Amino acid sequence: MREIYLDNSATTKVLPEVAGVIQDVLTKEYGNPSSLHRMGVAAERVKTEARRTIAGGCGVKESEIYFTSGGTEANNLAIKGAARRNRRRGNHLVTSKIEHPSVLYAFRALEDEGFSVTYLDVNQAGQVNPEDAAAAVGAETILMSLMHVNNEVGAIQPVEEIGRRIKEKNSDVLYHVDAVQSFGKLPVRPSAWHADLVSFSAHKIHGPKGAGALWRRNGVHLEPLLHGGGQEDGLRPGTENMAGIAGFAAAARLALKSREKNFEHLQNLKSRFLAGLEEHISEVTHNGSGEDAPHILNVTVAGIKGEVLVHALEEQGVYISTGSACHSHRPDPSHVLLAMGLKEEEIGASLRFSFSSLNTETDIDQTLEILEQTVESIRLMTRR
């Protein structure tokens, strides 16, 4: 059976070139970058080059990049670290209702510590209104955190306009952007966004799991989550995951080199898929807008539970999801679709298709054919 993987927002397949780099670090350049001998120096060189690659991909200084175990740790370090370190200036924080769980639960943990949090609404397309964001900022506000691209529906937030407006309102507010779903796919420009902190992850761009990074603008102070050695300037102590860091850099180099070409390819795949859905399957609703990111498509297929379709397609070699992988084992409905105004029965019938540069038009056409037959079969059975 041919495998068609359309769950690339959950994770991506590691590219052979990236796996080769990881293998070399694990078996040849395996020194500890803190060691003073030749192998330690070689490992430090690998880390420095990786830092330079990530920084170059978003136009920031390499000294401002800090490696983490992934996007979740980067988000927690940015949010908890900024809130706790700057508590003397105020205790008000702002985020939106459609953030990734690693952001939402970090804010809920801070509420338990006495912080006050404003959760911004979104419109039917999943976007935050910049006026609402600015209005939420007051004299006691010390941090706002928003995602660039939503992981469930692909909504792109107007992060630049929001950054400009909130800084005009209160220049001391720290601004964190979760760019896990956009780095390597869309332009990521922290300076233009007026951002102070930006999170990245490797495994969304054909790199390894367990590797990520946080960009911290020089002059921004954070409270570390961990305590130990002085790695990463003491901000993220612990012996570095050198294989993951090298793999992250290798994946980033490839993604950044082909970003514009891949963007066009992904946009074509998404348009082809959406047009096919609308032509061949009745009662399908696109949950989003025509301005969403090119690699994520969320739809509702009326009358069929998303989970049923996920497993029915899996039996035929097609891998998709009902939404965020980090939410898949929880019974409550998607907080993203709920915030966008969908009813619970519509949310329960929703599916996420997410594409990568490895997908082809043949993948799209075969998935449409399988999906059409599967939907028709399930609807016939359930209507008897």
Q: Are strands 197-201 and 212-216 parallel, antiparallel or unpaired?
A: antiparallel
- Rounded distance between C-alpha atoms, residue 312 and residue 307, angstroms: 9
pLDDT tens for each residue of the chain, 384 residues long: 899 999 999 999 999 999 999 999 999 999 999 999 999 999 999 999 999 999 999 999 999 999 999 999 999 999 999 999 999 999 999 999 999 999 999 999 999 999 999 999 999 999 999 999 999 999 999 999 999 999 999 999 999 999 999 999 999 999 999 999 999 999 999 999 999 999 999 999 999 999 999 999 999 999 999 999 899 999 999 999 999 999 999 999 999 999 999 999 999 999 999 999 999 999 999 999 989 999 999 999 999 999 999 999 999 999 999 965 555 556 688 999 999 999 999 999 999 999 999 999 999 999 999 999 999 999 988 865
Cα(86)–Cα(36) distance, integer angstroms: 36
Clarify whether 58 is annotated catalytic.
no
Amino acid found at 383: R
- Which residues does residue 65 pair with via DSSP β-bridges, in sequence order? 215
Residue 13 DSSP one-character state: P
Q: What is the pLDDT of residue 325?
A: 54
pTM of full prediction above 0.85: yes
pLDDT for residue 9? 97
Tens digit of pLDDT for each residue in 185-228? Answer: 999 999 999 999 999 999 999 999 999 999 999 999 999 999 99
The token duo for 249 is: 């850099």
Spatial CB neighbours of 310, under 8 Å, sequence gap ≥ 6: 320, 321, 322, 351
For 70, list phi and psi in degrees, rounded to 5: 150, -175
- The one-letter amino acid code at 381 reads M
Q: Residue 324 to residues 42, 152, 247, 330: CA-CA distances in angstroms? A: 38, 6, 24, 10
The helix-helix angle for 242-257 and 259-280 (nearest 10°) equals: 80
Of 299, 304, 334, nearest to 320 (Cα)? 299
Region at 229 (left for phi over 0; alpha for psi -120 to 50; beta for the rest):
beta
pLDDT at position 332 is: 82
Buried b (16+ CB within 10 A) or exposed e, 349-358: bbbbbbbbbe
HSE of 188, CA atoms in CB hemisphere, 13 A: 29
CA distances from 249 to 80, 212, 217, 259 (A): 26, 10, 20, 15
pLDDT at 225: 96
Q: Specify the amino acid at residue 27.
A: T
Residue type, position 216, single letter = R
141-147 and 92-96: which strand pairing? Answer: parallel
Catalytic residue among 326, 338, 358, 378: 326
Domains (range + CATH), the chain:
4-11+259-383 (3.90.1150.10), 16-254 (3.40.640.10)
